[in-house]
């Protein structure tokens, strides 16, 4: 790249390096996602339009090029509709920033981005573990091996707290308060919002045992969960852990774990669903999960298939004999004359 950057790159650098982290306080994962979006855009403009990054101008990002870039993501990169929309969201956020700082150069870019609609996607059903499946999953790892003790503790903490994968990765020793009456975790959620959630005593005891086994109980800034290569575990590592134990569970428990795909977020979905089924008010679940609005929590108000089957079965056993009684006489069906029958 030449020493002289284009106006586009100058603004993009300030947007990613200063505005988002310092002015807005956006989390590092979001910034990483934005950077990925613009790396892909620069790759596309070079590969398909032969425009180097240092030569790229706002005028190059017309409606046609933006549209073709989004299509390229789906057709050639194999991105999902959700990912495609996330890339568009990154462009939209930057276009707003750029227009406010260089109106003359960026206003057409902003207008063309705003013309681009988010693409509708088929809603993927949430994968939820049953209570039995959760119990099986957290009991597969053994207690007598360091790596499996870590995995057992991680799975237990995620279910007990309903935490997101990133929140578990960011958990430090200082975030844990162990008391006789109630033990809590301080979780740092989206937008830098923090909340404290209580965890059951059994989970708290397991967590204390794991921390002591690592010898970090007096190091308040240490991360609770580490990988074999990094002190600060990543969400990719958690995904691998989940995939491993779901695979083992399926191999040994035929007829269970029937959903096509489970992710770490499935544990959070399961926690919320089980809390709702236990009669906990939805407003309490909202605060527990750290949702910014009740609308986000309302998705768990949908009745699960297991709950539906259980209630229908109970209803059938109670009312079925009153509705269906084979001893009742039925009137004979009328005889239809031949000339009134079809084909007569």
- Residues 195 and 72 both lie in one domain: no
Q: Is residue 168 part of a domain?
A: yes
User: Which neighbouring-strand residues pair with 188?
Assistant: 194
pLDDT tens-place string over residues 141-198: 987 788 999 999 999 999 999 999 999 999 999 999 998 888 899 998 776 788 898 8
Sheet holding 194-199, edge to edge: 176-177, 183-188, 194-199
- Residues 297 and 185 both lie in one domain: yes
Q: Is residue 306 part of a domain?
A: no
Report which of 126, 144, 148, 161 is spatially closest to residue 304, judged by C-alpha positions.
126
Q: Residue 285 in contact with residue 300, Cβ under 8 Å?
A: yes
Q: Is residue 293 part of a domain?
A: yes
* Distances from the Cα of 329 to the Cα of 326, 332, 333, 334, angstroms: 8, 9, 12, 15
Q: Is residue 344 part of a domain?
A: no
User: Residue 267: which CATH number?
Assistant: 1.10.443.10
Which token pair is 62?
Answer: 């017309």
Instruction: Give the count of domains, the chain.
Output: 2
Q: Is residue 327 part of a domain?
A: no
Q: Is residue 310 part of a domain?
A: no
Which token pair is 129?
Answer: 């573990």
Which token pair is 82?
Answer: 């959700």
- Residues 80 and 190 both lie in one domain: no
Count of other CB atoms within 10 angstroms of residue 191:
12
pLDDT tens-place string over residues 217-270: 899 899 999 988 889 999 999 999 999 999 999 998 988 998 888 999 999 999
Is the model's pTM score more than 0.75? no
pLDDT tens-place string over residues 7-35: 899 999 999 999 998 888 887 878 888 99
pLDDT tens-place string over residues 63-105: 999 999 999 999 999 888 889 999 999 999 999 999 999 988 8
Q: Is residue 187 part of a domain?
A: yes
d(CA 194, CA 182): 18
Count of other CB atoms within 10 angstroms of residue 299:
12
User: Which neighbouring-strand residues pair with 176?
Assistant: 185
Chain centre distance of CA 246: 17
pLDDT above 60 (res 316) = no
Amino acid 311: pLDDT: 56
Which token pair is 317?
Answer: 């056993």
- Who wins on pLDDT, 264 or 318? 264
Q: Is residue 333 part of a domain?
A: no
User: Residue 36: which CATH number?
Assistant: 1.10.150
Non-local CB neighbours of 263 within 8 Å, separated by 6+ positions? 127, 239, 242
- Residues 138 and 208 both lie in one domain: yes
Q: Residue 143 in contact with residue 152, Cβ under 8 Å?
A: yes
Q: Any idea what the Cα angle at residue 140 is, between residues 137 and 142, rounded to 5°? A: 140
For 57, the domain range is 7-115
Q: Residue 113 in contact with residue 121, Cβ under 8 Å?
A: no
């Amino acid at each position: 790249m030449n020493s002289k950057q284009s106006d586009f790159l100058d603004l993009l650098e300030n947007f990613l390096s200063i505005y988002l982290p310092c002015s807005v306080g956006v989390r590092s994962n979001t910034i990483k996602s934005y950077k990925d979006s613009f790396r892909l855009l620069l790759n596309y403009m070079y590969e398909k339009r032969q425009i180097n990054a240092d030569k790229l101008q706002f005028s190059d990002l017309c409606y046609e090029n933006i549209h073709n870039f989004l299509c390229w993501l789906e057709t050639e990169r194999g991105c999902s509709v959700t990912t495609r929309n996330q890339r568009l969201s990154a462009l939209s956020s930057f276009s707003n920033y750029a227009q406010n700082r260089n109106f003359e150069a960026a206003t057409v870019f902003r207008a063309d981005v705003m013309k681009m609609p988010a693409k509708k996607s088929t809603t993927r059903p949430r994968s939820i573990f049953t209570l039995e499946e959760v119990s099986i999953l957290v009991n597969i790892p053994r207690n007598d091996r360091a790596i499996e003790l870590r995995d057992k503790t991680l799975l237990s903490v995620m279910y007990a707290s309903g935490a997101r994968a990133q929140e578990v990765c960011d958990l430090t020793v200082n975030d844990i308060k162990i008391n006789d009456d109630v033990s809590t975790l301080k979780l740092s959620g989206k937008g830098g919002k923090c909340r404290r959630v209580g965890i059951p005593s059994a989970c708290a005891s397991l967590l204390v045992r794991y921390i002591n086994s690592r010898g970090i109980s007096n190091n308040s800034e240490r991360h609770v969960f580490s990988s074999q290569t990094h002190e600060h575990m990543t969400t990719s590592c958690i995904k691998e852990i989940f995939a491993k134990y779901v695979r083992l569970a399926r191999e040994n428990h035929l007829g269970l774990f029937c959903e096509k795909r489970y992710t770490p977020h499935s544990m959070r979905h399961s926690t919320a669903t089980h809390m709702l089924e236990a009669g906990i008010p939805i407003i309490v679940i909202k605060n527990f999960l750290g949702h910014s609005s009740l609308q986000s929590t309302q998705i768990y108000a949908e009745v699960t298939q297991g709950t539906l089957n259980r209630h229908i079965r109970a209803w059938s056993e109670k009312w079925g004999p009153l509705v269906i009684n084979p001893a009742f006489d039925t009137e004979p069906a009328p005889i239809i004359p031949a000339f009134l029958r079809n084909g007569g």
